[in-house]
Amino acid sequence: MMKKSLLELRAEHPGFDLPCQYRIGRSLGNSYICFQNFYSQVLPNEETPVDLHLCLFNEEGEQLEHACISVPTAGFAQVDVAALGIQEPGLAAVMAVPKFDLAGLSKGRFRLKNNKGTGYYIVWQGRDGQVDTMHEWVAVTEATLPKRSLYAVYSADDGVLVRHGVVLINPLLGKGVETAPLLTVQTSGRKLLGQARVEVIPSLGSRMLYLDELFSDFTAWLDTHRHLCVGFHGANLAEPLTVELHAAGDFHIHHIN
């Protein structure tokens, strides 16, 4: 059962960011959130325990769970999301809150940022044991993001890659702050082959989309042109993550920059 909402956590700890990352669901496999208590690295010979807060959302931006895990000095946590009862995909937002006097111990050693982030990794594990991993991504924000255009190049790799996709994330905290990105596909010579509007993604929502479902000719275009530039255009949109499904059954998810 959810203990605290993300809104409550932000109100209690205003100086800390909540970087988020996409969790795969049962259609692909499961996700693990991995955290090492990094404060022991910057404050050696000090006791630096933290509370690790995890807020888990579905793709519609609804918070499903909040978990709080105590991590000791120089300790680590590896959280099996399925063990928390979450099987569907969506976002994870993570915050490590010191249980010690961070301001006092850092004085004279290093300068604290106004918004302190949390470094962590997510491990995506496929149903057949395939593994991929990535660091945390964009932080949850209340400030709306302006309309912008982001691009990724998808390349044909015959016999290796069988499907291409994208993960789109709306990192905005607040009711009614939506995004409905427009996706375009162009050749390397900038010839427009197609465009498609994605359905609305609500605040803290996310989508894993396959390009051959959005564009019925995508595979044929890729076979013909070998390289395609896909554009992602819209407001309140984090930098997308590309998705590759391999013929061997592996998958790879990565940021575009």
pLDDT score for 251: 94
Q: CB-based burial of residue 3 (10 Å sphere; 0-12 exposed, 13-18 middle, 19+ buried)?
A: exposed
Binned at pLDDT 50, 70 and 90, residue 2 comes out as low
- The domains found in the chain, sorted by start residue, are 6-135 (2.60.290), 148-255 (2.60.290.11)
List pLDDT tens digits, range 132-170.
999 999 999 999 999 999 999 999 998 899 999 999 999
Count of residues making up the chain = 257
**CB–CB of 219/133 below 8 Å?**
no
Whether the per-residue pLDDT at 172 is higher than 60: the answer is yes
Indicate the pTM of the whole model.
0.94
Instruction: Please give the share of the chain, as a percent, with pLDDT higher than 70.
Output: 99
pLDDT score for 113: 87
Question: What mean pLDDT is predicted for residues 170-187?
Answer: 94
Q: What is the mean pLDDT of the chain?
A: 95
Q: What is the largest CA-CA distance in the chain?
A: 62
First to last CA, the chain: 37
pLDDT score for 1: 52
Whether the per-residue pLDDT at 104 is higher than 90: the answer is yes
Binned at pLDDT 50, 70 and 90, residue 70 comes out as very high
Which are the contacts of 15, defined by CB distance < 8 A and separation ≥ 6? 114, 115, 116
pLDDT score for 39: 94
Binned at pLDDT 50, 70 and 90, residue 110 comes out as confident
Question: What mean pLDDT is predicted for residues 3-29?
Answer: 94
Closest CA to 99 of 119, 72, 74, 66: 72
Question: What mean pLDDT is predicted for residues 182-208?
Answer: 97
List pLDDT tens digits, range 209-239.
999 999 999 999 999 999 999 999 999 999 9
Amino acid at 128: D
The pairing of beta strand 206-210 with beta strand 131-135: unpaired
